[in-house]
Structure 1
Amino acid sequence: MSASTSGSLARPSASLRAARWGTRANFFCAGFLFATWGVHVPTVRAHYEIGEWALSMAMLAAGVGALLGLSQAGRLIGRYGPKSVAWVCGLSSTVAIGCLLSFPSYPGLLAALALFGVMSSVFDVAINAEASELERQEGRPLMSGFHALFSLGGMAGAGLGSLLLGWLVDPKSHLLWAAVATAVAIWAGCLQMLPHVAAPSEPTRFRLPSGVLLLLGVLAALGLVSEGAMYDWSVLFMQKELGSPQDLAALAYASFSGAMAAARFGGDWLRARVAAAPLMFASALLATLAMAMVLLVREPVVALIGFALVGAGLGNVVPVLFSAAASVPGTTPAHGIAAVSSVGYLGFMAGPPVIGMLAEGWSLTAALFVVVLFAGVLAAASRRALAQVG
Structure 2
Amino acid sequence: MSFRNASIGRWAVAASFFVNGFMVGSWAPQIPVVASRFDLSETALGLLILVFGCGAVSVMPLCGYLIGRFGSRAILRIAAFICTLSFAGLVAATQIWQMVAALVFFGAFLGAMDISMNANAVAVERSLGRAVMSSSHGFWSLGGFVGAGVGGLLLERYGYMAHAGMVVAFAFALVLITLPFLIVEARPVAGQAGHGRGRLPRNPMIYVTGLVALICMLPEGAVLDWAALYLRQEMGAGIAEASLAFTAFSGTMAMMRFAGDRLRNRFGAVRTLRYSGVVATVGMLGAGLAPTPMLATIAFALSGMGIANMVPIVFSAAGNQPGLSPGAGMSVATTIGYSGMLVAPSLVGFIAERTGFAPIFIAFSVLLACVLMLANLVSSADTIVVQPAGEA
Normalization by structure 2: what TM-score? 0.78
Structure-1 residue corresponding to 2:57: 67
Deviation at 1:123, TM superposition (A): 0.9
Deviation at 1:345, TM superposition (A): 4.0
Deviation at 1:185, TM superposition (A): 1.0
Alignment of 1:83 with 2:73, yes or no, is yes
Rate the CA distance shift 1:213–1:378 in 2: closer, same or farther, 3 A: farther
- d(CA) in 1 for partners of 2:99 and 2:233? 22
- Greater displacement, 317-326 / 256-265: 317-326
Alignment of 1:332 with 2:312, yes or no, is no
Letter in structure 2 aligned against 1:82? S
Native 8 Å contact 2:12 2:181 kept in 1? yes
Deviation at 1:26, TM superposition (A): 0.6
Structure-2 residue corresponding to 1:131: 121
Aligned runs of 1:196-235 on 2, under 5 Å? Answer: 198-199=187-188, 201=190, 202=192, 203-205=195-197, 207=200, 211-231=204-224
Q: Deviations over 1:160-203 (max 9, x none)?
A: 235446x6552343233122211221222212113576546152
- d(CA) in 2 for partners of 1:209 and 1:231? 34
The size of the alignment, in residue pairs, is 374
Native 8 Å contact 2:201 2:328 kept in 1? no
- d(CA) in 1 for partners of 2:248 and 2:73? 32
Structure-2 residue corresponding to 1:149: 139
State the superposition RMSD in angstroms.
3.8
Rate the CA distance shift 1:214–1:138 in 2: closer, same or farther, 3 A: same
Deviation at 1:292, TM superposition (A): 5.5
Structure-1 residue corresponding to 2:239: 244
Q: Deviations over 1:52-95 (max 9, x none)?
A: 43233223323332232112112322343323321221122223
Native 8 Å contact 2:17 2:139 kept in 1? yes
Letter in structure 2 aligned against 1:271? R
Structure-2 residue corresponding to 1:106: 96
Deviation at 1:307, TM superposition (A): 4.4
- d(CA) in 1 for partners of 2:56 and 2:141? 20
Native 8 Å contact 2:63 2:331 kept in 1? no
Rate the CA distance shift 1:16–1:324 in 2: closer, same or farther, 3 A: closer
1:258 corresponds, among 233, 251, 263, to: 251
Matched-pair identity in % = 29
Structure 1 gaps of 5+ residues are 1-10
Deviation at 1:226, TM superposition (A): 2.9
Q: Deviations over 1:94-118 (max 9, x none)?
A: 2333333442343333222211221
Rate the CA distance shift 1:384–1:194 in 2: closer, same or farther, 3 A: closer
Structure-2 residue corresponding to 1:4: none
Structure-2 residue corresponding to 1:174: 163
Native 8 Å contact 1:35 1:158 kept in 2? yes
2:313 corresponds, among 309, 320, 333, to: 320
Rate the CA distance shift 1:138–1:343 in 2: closer, same or farther, 3 A: closer
3-state SS of paired residue (1:140)? coil
Q: Deviations over 1:317-376 (max 9, x none)?
A: 123324544676xx23645x8436523444335424541355368559946965553343
- Greater displacement, 154-163 / 212-221: 154-163
Native 8 Å contact 1:35 1:157 kept in 2? yes
- Greater displacement, 128-137 / 98-107: 98-107
3-state SS of paired residue (1:99)? helix
Deviation at 1:303, TM superposition (A): 6.3
Deviation at 1:149, TM superposition (A): 1.4
Deviation at 1:265, TM superposition (A): 1.7
3-state SS of paired residue (2:71)? helix
Structure-2 residue corresponding to 1:377: 367
Aligned runs of 1:186-201 on 2, under 5 Å? Answer: 186-195=175-184, 198-199=187-188, 201=190
- d(CA) in 2 for partners of 1:320 and 1:72? 23
Rate the CA distance shift 1:105–1:367 in 2: closer, same or farther, 3 A: farther
Rate the CA distance shift 1:244–1:225 in 2: closer, same or farther, 3 A: same
Rate the CA distance shift 1:318–1:360 in 2: closer, same or farther, 3 A: closer
